[in-house]
Amino acid sequence: MNHTQPVPILPSHHEAQHQMALLPNYYAWILERLNAWIGSRILDVGSGVGNLAERLDGWEQLVLLDVNPAQCEEMAERFRGVAGVSVCCQDILNPGILTLGRGAFDTVICLDVLEHLADDEKALRHFHALLVPGGHLLLKVPAHPWLYGAMDVASGHFRRYARSALDLLADRTGFEVVAMSAMNPLAILPWLFKGRIRKRDANFSRTFSASSLKRINRLIPLLRFLDRVWPFPLGLSWVAVLQKPRSGGRSACSVLQTSRP
């Protein structure tokens, strides 16, 4: 793929967000993996329509960032009147994102976003600047380059990640890897079949009917249990916790200047 061009904002991406809303247990599973590192001043990058954000709690400041104006408008309405929440419609690769404040956040959440960015290294450098020393970047990215296929192309993915590549990316951008593990091993086979064999030209979630997604949602608690008692070395995604080193002391927090679109 051409890594120099930005990913277009497609209506299908917005539709996929509403499909994913049928999987509340999936978001609970992700948060179970990451809750230990979520602080009180949070930047949620690629918030979509707020499916994950509405499940966060204990925050003092929550900034919801997305590049899609339609999704930003929907989130602004969804969280209207909720104290401490602001919506920012901005491209994370734009240096203007740093006006949110260097060292303004103790947590950056970035789930299923890096693969959509032509320059993932630049994004991590921006995250590094936005975090306080000791702050955490919480990532979820598609795993295994050998799974890359038609559904990745349809979803606007520039890449899937080998674990070693994610380690190297963290090192190049000044992060330390605190934790990294595979997630959702049972989804590998349907992804391989639909994306590499049948070559479905669609986002993965949109290859399932609403009734199928509801059945999958009922199955997820069992997958969460198996995940806890028997972690599997392979999965459809990597879930990673990166930390900005504490050396150099804790920087002062800037006042956030964000506005709703």
- Hey, where are the domains in the chain? 14-243
Whole-number Å distance between alpha carbons of 46 and 23: 18
Is residue 216 pLDDT above 70, yes or no? yes
Mean pLDDT of the chain: 86
pLDDT at 249: 38
Q: Answer yes or no: is pLDDT of 41 > 90.
A: yes
Q: Read off the pLDDT band of 12 (50, 70, 90).
A: low
H or E element that contains 11 = helix 11-20
For residues 106 and 4, the model is more confident at: 106
On the question of pLDDT at 54 being above 70, the answer is yes
pTM reported for the whole predicted model: 0.86
Question: C-alpha distances in angstroms, 182 versus 6, 90, 161?
Answer: 28, 30, 11
pLDDT, tens digit (0-9, with 9 covering 90-100), for 220-258? 898 888 888 888 889 999 999 999 999 743 333 222 233
pLDDT in the model for residue 236: 93
Taking the C-alpha atoms of residue 158 and residue 231, their distance in angstroms, rounded to an integer, is 28
Q: Contact, 148 vs 160, CB < 8 A?
A: yes
> Which tokens sit at 48?
């979509």
With b meaning 16 or more CB within 10 Å and e meaning fewer, what string describes 69-101?
ebbbbbbbebbeeeeebbbbbbebbeeebeebb
The pLDDT of residue 209? 74
| pLDDT, tens digit (0-9, with 9 covering 90-100), for 165-203 | 999 999 999 999 999 999 998 889 988 888 777 777 766
What gap in Å lies between CA 47 and CA 17, rounded to an integer?
10
pLDDT level of residue 211 (50, 70, 90 thresholds)? confident
Helices 24-34 and 210-229: crossing angle in degrees, nearest 10, is 30
Question: In sequence order, what are the residues at sequence separation of 6 or more whose Cβ sits closer than 8 angstroms to the Cβ of residue 12?
Answer: 154, 202, 203, 206
Please give the pLDDT value at position 82: 95
DSSP state of 27: H
* pLDDT tens, residue by residue, 102-143: 999 999 999 999 999 999 999 999 999 999 999 999 999 999
Least-confidence region, from 6-10, 27-31, 48-52, 136-140: 6-10
Q: Greater confidence, 136 or 213? A: 136
157 pLDDT more than 70: yes
- Structural fold of domain 14-243: Rossmann fold (3.40.50)
Three-state SS at 83: coil
Strands 131-142 and 105-111, by their bridges, are parallel
Taking each helix axis from N to C end, the angle separating 11-20 and 69-78, rounded to the nearest 10 degrees, works out to 30
H-assigned helices in 135-259: 150-154, 163-172, 188-191, 210-229
